Amino acid sequence: MDNKVTTEYAKVLIAQYLDSHGYQESLVNFLKESDLPRKALLQENGETLETILYERIKFAEHRVANRLARLTLNEPIDVTHLPIPSWDHSLQFKELKLNDRIIDLTVDAGVGSEKLLISTSNREVKVYDTNSLEPSASLEGNKTSGLLKPCGSLGKTGYHYACGLDGMLNVYDSNGGTPVNSYKIHRRVTTHARSCTIDGQSWFFISYGLDNYLKIHRIQFDTLGVELWAECKIPSACTALDIAIVQDRILIYLAQTEFTHVTCYEVTTSIPALNQKYQLALNGAQFTPHAFQIRDMKYVPSENILLVATSHTPYMRLLVVQIPREEETSGPLYDKVIRDMATEVPQDNYSQPSLGILPSNSGVIVSSNEGIYAIDIAKGDSWHLNAFPKRRVKCLVVNDSNGLIAVGFADRTTHIARGTVKT
């Protein structure tokens, strides 16, 4: 049989299949890309795609069913009960080039609506414009700062921050250089930091340090003065931290070593106060509080869920946790895990995966020992993204509004890309 005839007939069968099952958007694209005439849909009294496949696999149906079952590691679920949508396969990743080459190891990064910050092993933080990627400033520490991490921007104020290994919080203006103000927030290294504003007059800086203290500081816009707002002693080291803004309150989600619960703290912004609200149990076994480590967390405000990356080896698991309603303030709460998903993301005992949310919740990505992986929570699927090199990742940061992605690899290379949904 002529291969051309076979190919053309296969196109007709596929077009008829899409039409008969109501896949109209896919049909329009298929007709456009395959150059088929619309009349191909009007063919009658011919075989259908299902008939041909049924006759082909009739005597091996069980074996084919088993092969289909192996397409995903997870059991199928009712996706209508999941608050986060499936992966948008129209996502495209475009590699971008920095106009100032980075030759040192990238140890941390922060990205906002206007600026991209990249902290390097050369004890400086380079600042770039998020649109042009032109360098705009360079942030420096003092003699005792060492590496400057974590780092980030204070919204659209033009001010940036970077924490040194000496426990100092350094605040910089848009000109960069040396800090315009420094304040010692921890006795030892600051490992986690988040910032937010409530009243537009000041910023709340939430941080955890190796002195085992969770601290909240308030930074005044007009004077750049830093004051301690509240603090709390944590029993063991923090492994992951994220925040949520609820009206005039700040909710802090904190995970600890050897403790498979996420603790929620509430910061009252009207008066200095920090209170524990509840705990989210992730292991389901009420007789033990430890089953695995929590490596990273990401709060998704539009869906009111918490994504959790675990320490399972040789492959990471991803948990989707529903944040309780306001009236549910008791704990630990054992019924909030709505998806426990096995992934194909490789990791070992030293891996530090970082989660990222793409614009409009179009996808979830995570760093690994072998590059960046995509995760489709609704379909229980995960795969390596070919747009990124397959190398061990040191840090990952994603801006969920403009899709800018910065990845620092262990071989001292830095990869910048932008994820956009094709329209």
Rounded to an integer, the average pLDDT of 179-205 is: 92
Bridge partners (DSSP) of residue 376 are 381
Rounded to an integer, the average pLDDT of 183-210 is: 92
Residues in contact with 7: Cβ distance below 8 Å, sequence separation at least 6, in sequence order: none
Confidence at residue 352, expressed as pLDDT on a 0 to 100 scale: 92
Confidence at residue 101, expressed as pLDDT on a 0 to 100 scale: 80
Kindly report, residue by residue over 346-370, the tens digit of the pLDDT.
Answer: 999 889 999 999 988 788 999 999 9
Confidence at residue 414, expressed as pLDDT on a 0 to 100 scale: 93
User: Read out DSSP for 276-337?
Assistant: EEEEEESS--TT-S-SS-EEEEEEETTTTEEEEEE--SSEEEEEEEEPPPTT---S-B-S-E
Kindly report, residue by residue over 83-94, the tens digit of the pLDDT.
Answer: 788 888 888 999
CB 385 within 8 A of CB 411: no
**pLDDT bracket for residue 59 (50, 70, 90):** low
- Mean pLDDT over all residues of the chain? 86
Confidence at residue 329, expressed as pLDDT on a 0 to 100 scale: 64
Looking at per-residue pLDDT, the higher value among 394 and 360 belongs to: 394
**Does the pLDDT value for residue 232 go beyond 90?**
yes
Confidence at residue 79, expressed as pLDDT on a 0 to 100 scale: 63
**pLDDT bracket for residue 49 (50, 70, 90):** confident
Confidence at residue 88, expressed as pLDDT on a 0 to 100 scale: 87
What is the C-alpha separation between 136 and 139, in angstroms, rounded? 10
- At residue 321, what is the residue type? V
Residue 219: its H or E element? strand 213-220
Confidence at residue 80, expressed as pLDDT on a 0 to 100 scale: 67
Rounded to an integer, the average pLDDT of 384-404 is: 91
Q: Where are the domains positioned within the chain?
A: 3-71
What is the C-alpha separation between 212 and 387, in angstroms, rounded? 39
Confidence at residue 60, expressed as pLDDT on a 0 to 100 scale: 66
3-state class (DSSP) for residue 340: strand
Confidence at residue 65, expressed as pLDDT on a 0 to 100 scale: 60
**Does the pLDDT value for residue 122 go beyond 60?**
yes
Kindly report, residue by residue over 142-161, the tens digit of the pLDDT.
Answer: 888 888 999 999 888 889 99
**pLDDT bracket for residue 53 (50, 70, 90):** confident
CB 136 within 8 A of CB 124: no
